[in-house]
Amino acid sequence: MFQNDSVRRQIDFAEIGFAAKAPAERTLTAMRLPIPGQELVALIVAVSFAAGLNVYATVATLGLLGHTGVVDLPSGLQLLGSWWVIGVSAALFGVEFFADKIPAFDLIWNALHTFIRIPVAGVLAWRATEHLSPRDQMIATLLGGLVAFAAHGGKTAVRAVVTPSPEPLSNLGLSLGEDVVSISLTWLATKHPYTAGAIATVLVVIIVLAVRWVWRALKRLFSGAAGEMRAEGT
């Protein structure tokens, strides 16, 4: 009888020890498991586009999702789940929420953030692919930077066109829309990376085509003006 009780206690202690270790082991396993290659590419494209629109909202959203356990971030992005990172990102998002909606000042704000949004998107891509080879990491970083550059460039170009408008609603509506897209696309990337990546890719293509159209229109405009000036001079 005493022998059976001793054996039973040993089994109970072993089960308790296993139960205590299991969550930690599962967490370490989740941190170490790399995201499949194609999903990782889609995730990088979507998150980079979101960062190009609003980098603070993107980082804060990723951090909250990781901290609350809604999603297992890649091991290189686990730092985003720190309350310090979340708090600072959320505070800066609050500043941008108002600064980005002030006509004229938003152009200065966006110009300055050329040196923040694009590099941060590259760093996020680099950290998310730390389990890959240095060459693949560099490719991922360039991809993230280029996608963020397209999103940021498109946003800045549209603002430059809309800002001179005398009514403030268009500028306000654009800014709110960008905030919603940034947060929604970041969340979608963690749940449905292929869908989010496809949406971001379509938006990048639209931006590139729009920029080309605007550039050609400006060239025709200036060419026509130059021709008229030459005609008047003769």
**Structural domain boundaries of the chain?**
1-32, 37-233
Burial, 118: exposed, middle or buried (Cβ in 10 Å; 0-12, 13-18, 19+)? buried
Q: Encode the chain (234 residues) as per-residue pLDDT tens digits.
A: 434 555 444 444 444 443 444 444 443 333 334 566 789 999 999 999 999 999 999 999 999 999 999 998 888 999 999 999 999 999 999 999 999 988 889 989 999 999 999 999 999 999 999 999 999 999 999 999 999 999 999 998 888 888 777 767 888 899 999 999 999 999 999 999 999 999 999 999 998 888 777 677 656 656 655 565 666 666
Identify the DSSP state of 100.
T
> Rounded distance, CA 122 to CA 147, Å?
9
Tell me the two tokens of residue 168: 């403030």
The closest alpha carbon to 31, from 78, 81, 79, belongs to 78
Q: According to DSSP H, which parts of the chain are helical?
A: 2-32, 37-53, 55-67, 83-99, 105-112, 114-128, 134-162, 169-191, 193-233
Within 10 A of 175 (CB to CB), how many other CB atoms are there? 23
> Rounded distance, CA 123 to CA 45, Å?
13
> Rounded distance, CA 136 to CA 221, Å?
43
> Rounded distance, CA 100 to CA 110, Å?
8
pLDDT tens sequence across 81-126: 999 999 999 999 999 999 998 888 998 999 999 999 999 999 999 9
Query: Tokens 């297992």, residue?
Result: 72
Q: Is the pTM of this model over 0.75?
A: yes
Around 98, how many Cα atoms within 13 Å sit in the side-chain half-sphere?
5
